[in-house]
Structure formats: C-alpha cells, structure tokens
Amino acid sequence: MDAQNSIDALDQLLRSDESISPAEAKTLQRYLEDPPIQDIVRLVERYQGSRAAVALRLLPRRRAIEVFDALDPAHQADLIGALQNREVFEFFDELDPDDRVSLLDELPAEIAERLMRNLEPSERDITGVVLGYPKGSVGRRMSPEVPSLFVDLTVDEALTVLKKSADDVETIYSLPVISRDRRLEGICSLREIFTAPSGTRLEEIVTKPVVANAHDDAEETARWFLPLDFLALPVVDDSNRLVGLLTADDAHDIVEEEDTEDSARIGGSEPLQQPYLSTPLMRIVRSRVVWLLVLAVSALLTVKVLDTFEETLEQAIVLSLFIPLLTGTGGNTGNQAATTVTRALALGDVRTGDVLSVMWREVRVGFTLGALLGILGFVLASVIYSLPLGIVMGTTLLAICTMSATVGGIMPLIAKTCGADPAVFSNPFISTFCDATGLIIYFFIARTVLGI
C-alpha cells in the first residue's frame, strides 16, 4: 500500500460508514504514517464531527494531533462532541495558546471551563493572558510564548539562551530584545545574531522594531504587517512591555479568515467558519436565511415603486419588458464599484477619509460606462421599437450607471464609517437599493419623454 492508497482506503472507510476490525485499523494506521500531512488534513476537513473523529482515531497519535491542530476552530468544536474526554484533553493541551483560545470561543461555556481546568497551571496561565484581550484584537491572536533576550547580552550568550529555549517557543528566528524590566528595545533576527562577530553585544545590532499594541485591531495589523515580509511582529502593552509575538502565519490566518468572511458577505450570507462539506446542512441554511429575508423584505420597495407607476405601465406595457435588464445593469454597475472599493478598504488602499476622491472617481467611471451602454441601448431600442423608446433607454442607462457606480463606491465607506462591515453593503444591498431607485429614474424619464 503506498501513500495515496492509504489515503484512499481511509476515504473509503469514512464514506462507507462501515466498522473496521482492530487488526485492520492497526494496519491502516501503520500505512498512514507515510502520506503528506496536508493530504490527510484535506481529507478530514471533508467530514463532519463523528466521521472526522473516526479518522483522527485511525491516525498515528502524533499525526492526529497535527491534523486536529490544522482544522478550523468551528470544526474542532464539532469534533470535540464526538471524541472521548481523554482524547479531547490531549488535543487541547497540544494546541498553541492562541489556537486554544479560538477553539474556546466556539465551545459552550461549561465544556470550555472543563478544558481549562484540565490544563497544566503554566499552560492555563499563558492561555489566560491571551483570553484577557478582546476578540478581534492582536492580543487575542498572538503567541504569548516569547523568547526573552536581554539587550545587555552578547551574541554568544544569546545563542546559548536560544539553544535552551528553542523547544518551548514558537519562533527563534525573529527575536524581540528587551530591557531588564521587559520593555521592548528592538528586534534582532537569528541570522544577525548568528553572523555577528563573537563578543558583539545585542544593543549594537538591535534594530528599531515595527511593533503592534496588543489592543490594536487584528485584521488591520495583519494587513500592513504581511507585505513587509517579516517573520514575526513584537506585541507590546500600553507601557511598551513585550507581551507576545504575532507570527506571519498567524497574520496569514487572520487575513484568510477575513477574506472568507468578506467573500461570504459580498455574496449575501454569513461565513460558515469551517469547510463547506463538513458544515451541517442546517448551519448553511442559517448562514443564508437572515440575509435572504432582509433582502426580500427590502425588495418590497420595488413592488411599492412599481405599484405607484402602475398606470404608466398599463399605458405602455412595453416598458415592463426592460425592467429586469435595467435593474440588472444598475445592480451590476453598483456591484462592480462596491466590490472594488470593499477590497481596497480591506487591503488598506482606501481609507474612510477618501470618500470624496472615491465619489469623484466613481461619478466619472459611472458616467463613462453609462454613456457607452446608453448609446448601445439607444440604437437597439430605436431600431427595434421606436425613437422615443430609444431615447428613454439611452438616458435611463446613462443615469442609472452614473448613480449606481457612485452609490456602490461610497456605500462601503459609509458602512465602515458607521462601524458596519463594508462587505455587507457591497453587493445584494446595493442591488436592492439600485433596483428601487433605478425604477424611479426609469419611469420619470419614460413619463417625460413619452408624455404619459
């Protein structure tokens, strides 16, 4: 049995829901030593709680821990219900403090408490530090286990300290250097320590650090920190004392979660927090139903608008033919602007203070797009229907595109200013809004031009 076959055998087993003899389990376990760990993670991610638990039990102990570690907190929480206490304690114990806290957030209070009680006191303390910071803050996502290098050490002494502590800390490559009272003095890379002439004091090679405060927003910090290509960012408290490190992979996890959340919200649903296939069906329904209802109710606005213009419609039923085309185009133009600006906001390319520059850009972009579509609409409608209808279509498209791009561009900024998630306002909401206003524009223009 080669590596791929052992993965396939495991997949088969999980899919079939059959039981397996202890001897077979042992054989499979031996073969599961070989396949690359990421392939096993990928497989386990596809199964819900009890099935995923079977997989973890079949894996060699060390690998089971690695796999559990790599799962999303919501998925870990699902699994915990299907595992035995002994297994749960072991997995929980092996997590890094920041991952432990993410999992605790997903668990019912009583289970969370029991897990905390079963931790070793030192681990419990360090987990408590992370738990002490608010959700969404850097402190909540940092690794509190930091190697301490004092600024008055020589590089040789520093190397000795590092050799001793290498096993306990998350990284020894990016090293905060502190004063004797734990104030951050700067940062040193192992590379620098390693290449400096013997006898050099750390204070000679330490560089001014890029730092974050433990209370800073985790997403914002991760976004500006990652492009700098550092391995880790020292985290300090308000009196500049070192409290932890945010590693690049922690920062990457934060960014990826936020991107997944934005992508879900742009699509008009709440994020699932775990892989699609392992999410229980009802949780998917719940992630969508609220937004769908809210949007349907706000779409009643379009019913109201059309009701108001029912007389116009009766007189020129042909106008109704273009309703989905016009509302669709308005929605598309608005979405284009909104998703662009939402992404730019997330990446930090645009700030809420830029609302006027964004608006002015989008007015011009929307007008240009509207002019192009308007000309096309004018020609088509004039040829197929009549000149007056061509004029209605042309001017309506111009007006709708300009309006939608402008609204789409500034809505995410307004949302952010009000403290809401820009992604929520960046797609279906814009569509619904543009639908209603677009229809009003359409019927006003039609009434004027057609003289109804």
Distances (CA, A) of 278 to 43, 51, 79, 150: 10, 10, 11, 47
Contacts of 224-231 with C-beta under 8 Å, sequence gap 24+, read: 224/348, 225/251, 226/251, 226/252, 226/255, 230/174, 231/171, 231/173, 231/174, 231/189
Q: Which is nearer to a copy of itself, 23 or 277 (CB)?
A: 277
Residue 183: what are its φ and ψ, rounded to 5°? -80, 140
Residue pointed to by tokens 């991760």:
222
Of 127, 43, 51, 129, residue with least CA distance to 92: 127
Q: Taking the complex as a whole, how short is the minimal distance between the CB of residue 12 and a copy of itself, in angstroms?
A: 14
* Phi, psi dihedrals of residue 23, rounded to the nearest 5°: -65, -45
Supply the DSSP symbol for 19.
-
R_g (Cα) of the chain, nearest Å: 29
Q: How far is the CB of 65 from a copy of itself (least distance, A)?
A: 14
In angstroms, rounded to a whole number, what is the distance separating the alpha carbons of residues 376 and 390?
Answer: 9
How far is Cα 77 from Cα 72, in angstroms, rounded to an integer? 9
- Is residue 222 within 8 Å of residue 251, measured between CB atoms? yes
Nearest approach, Cβ of residue 394 and a copy of itself (Å): 13
Choose between 112 and 430: whose C-beta lies nearer to a copy of itself.
430
CB of 87 to a copy of itself, least distance (A): 22
User: Min. distance of Cβ 434 from a copy of itself in angstroms?
Assistant: 10
Contact in structure between 178 and 166 (CB atoms under 8 Å): no
178, 185, 233, 240 from 203: Cα distances, Å: 10, 8, 19, 17
* Residue number, 112 or 149, with CB nearest to a copy of itself: 149
| DSSP letter assigned to residue 22 | H
Length of the chain: 452
Q: Are 320 and 387 in contact (CB under 8 A)?
A: no
As measured in angstroms, the least distance from the Cβ of 84 to a copy of itself is 26
Residue 112 or 434: the one with the smaller Cβ distance to a copy of itself is 434
For a copy of itself, the closer of residues 92 and 225 by Cβ is: 225
- 300 vs 418, which CB is nearer to a copy of itself? 300
* Residue 89 or 224 with smaller CB distance to a copy of itself: 224
Q: Supply the minimum distance, in Å, between the C-beta of residue 451 and a copy of itself.
A: 20
Q: Which one, 103 or 112, has the nearer CB to a copy of itself?
A: 103
| Nearest-approach distance from CB 404 to a copy of itself, in angstroms | 11
Q: Of 148, 109, 158, 159, which is closest to residue 131 (Cα–Cα)? A: 109
Give phi and psi for 213, each to the nearest 5. -85, 145
Q: Which is nearer to a copy of itself, 23 or 281 (CB)?
A: 281
Q: Smallest gap, in angstroms, from Cβ of residue 280 to a copy of itself?
A: 10
Nearest CA-CA partner of 68 in 39, 101, 45: 45
> Given the complex with a copy of itself, which of 140 and 343 has the nearer CB atom?
343
- The least distance separating a copy of itself from the CB of residue 166, rounded to whole angstroms, comes to 5
Residue type, 106: E
Residue 160 CB partners (closer than 8 Å, separation 6+): none
CB of 339 to a copy of itself, least distance (A): 3
Of the pair 111, 153, the CB lying nearest a copy of itself is at 153
Amino acid at 142: M
